[in-house]
Amino acid sequence: MRRRRARKSSRGSSTSSFPCSRGAICATCGATRWWRRVDTVANLPSLPLLVTMGEPAGIGLEITLKAYRALRETGPAFLLLDDPARVQAEAGDLSLAVINDPGEAVAAFPRALPVLPLNLPYAVTPGRPDTRNNDAVMGAIARAAALAQKGEVAGIITNPIHKATLYASGFSYPGHTEYLAALTGEPEGAVMMLAVEGLRVVPLTIHIPLAEVPGRITPDLIIRTAETMARALLRDFGIARPRIAIAGLNPHAGEDGGIGREELTLIAPAIEALRGRGIDVSGPRPADTMFHAAARAQYDAALCMYHDQALIPLKTIDFEHGVNVTIGLPIIRTSPDHGTAFDIAGRGIASPASLIAAIRLAGTMAQNRARLS
């Protein structure tokens, strides 16, 4: 998942299957279509978003510069936390505005890319990560989270990191999600959601062997995850009455125990408990029939039992524009759904599509939270 290339594509966006997607703002539930350009001067966040440097040897800077070119006239406004000298060397004819306060970014954004200075101590070779820059990479994430917690930025968008490189410097987290959960004081509450136009998915279990999945599924984990999803769909996506579809684990959702009993003993009890708490959930649904267009029209997000059950349909629907969203945090965090792409770093061919989608979604989430505050 993390090493997918971010190449150029001529494909357009897929057609939405959300039942409430007729127009930028749904008249039925008030949900905002984040993938459309609904960011006008009137409804842009008053605070800027922040884009982190990510792994400097990857494609993060290239796609950030391309995203700025695409968004500078429409927004949402963002600042880049990076080394100004490094950015200037790659910016070409783009103007930069080196700022000392995130509050300066919104005014500067239409004329120049705002850069909040970060010292990168060692020179970068595209495609070749240097462990000596690890402190700066990790420090950028920590600083971004702190600025968001203090209310100085509306949310953060994290460029891809290379975990294997960071592990050499003592980084002990599986990825951004867990690191940000620790930084924000929510070590048990963070949940990974992936979103494209027409589908939002949450994998209950993530990067573990498939053979270990049944042993990790518990009614309590399903309940806690679905509750986090329901809160996020309301607060971050503006859906007043969230509907969550829960997938079964086994083929045909177990066929009443004929092909496995996890649906009967683990998933169904969790669904009943969630309904008792007033959450609109359906399932267990057979995974092979819950992702076609008509089925997707029946829910706002899907809770899947394991990584590939969630990610295969999402990436099949729209491989280029996926967004990784960490829900359950006190701050807004999105990310492009691809990795550092070392193999194409420095070649100028990386697609910014996923990063642009992540920036737009973070802006929409900020608008939705502001409306509810």
Domains located in the chain, CATH noted: 1-7+22-190+338-373 (3.40.718.10), 198-317 (3.40.718.10)
Is 140 a residue whose pLDDT tops 80?
yes
pLDDT at 187: 77
The arithmetic mean of pLDDT across residues 261-270, rounded, is: 98
pLDDT of residue 183: 95
Threshold 0.75, pTM exceeds: yes
Looking at every residue in the chain, the average pLDDT score rounds to 90
* Sequence-ordered list of residues with C-beta below 8 angstroms from that of 141, at least 6 positions apart, any chain: 52, 158, 161, 176, 179, 180, 183
pLDDT score recorded for residue 189: 86
Are 192 and 202 in contact by the 8 Å Cβ rule? The answer is yes
Residues 141 and 184: beta-carbon distance below 8 Å: no
Provide CB contacts within 8 A for 133, sequence distance 6+: 56, 120, 121, 122, 124
Report d(CA 225, CA 204) in Å as an integer. Answer: 7
CA-wise closest residue to 268 among 251, 285, 290: 285
Higher-scoring residue by pLDDT: 33, 127: 127
Tens digit of pLDDT for each residue in 195-237? Answer: 999 999 999 999 999 999 999 999 999 999 999 999 999 999 9
For 241-260, write each residue's pLDDT tens digit: 999 999 999 999 999 999 99
Q: Summarize pLDDT for 180-192 with one digit per residue, the tens.
A: 999 999 878 899 9
Residue position matching structure tokens 């309590």: 220
pLDDT value of position 164:
95
Task: Give pLDDT, residue 332.
Answer: 98
- pLDDT of the residue at 44: 52
pLDDT at 7 over 90: no
Provide mean pLDDT across the span 130-149. Answer: 97
**Confidence band of 45 (pLDDT split at 50, 70, 90):** low
Mean pLDDT of 346-366: 97
| pLDDT value, residue 357 | 98
Residue 26 has pLDDT above 50, yes or no: no
Would you say residue 35 has pLDDT above 90? Answer: no
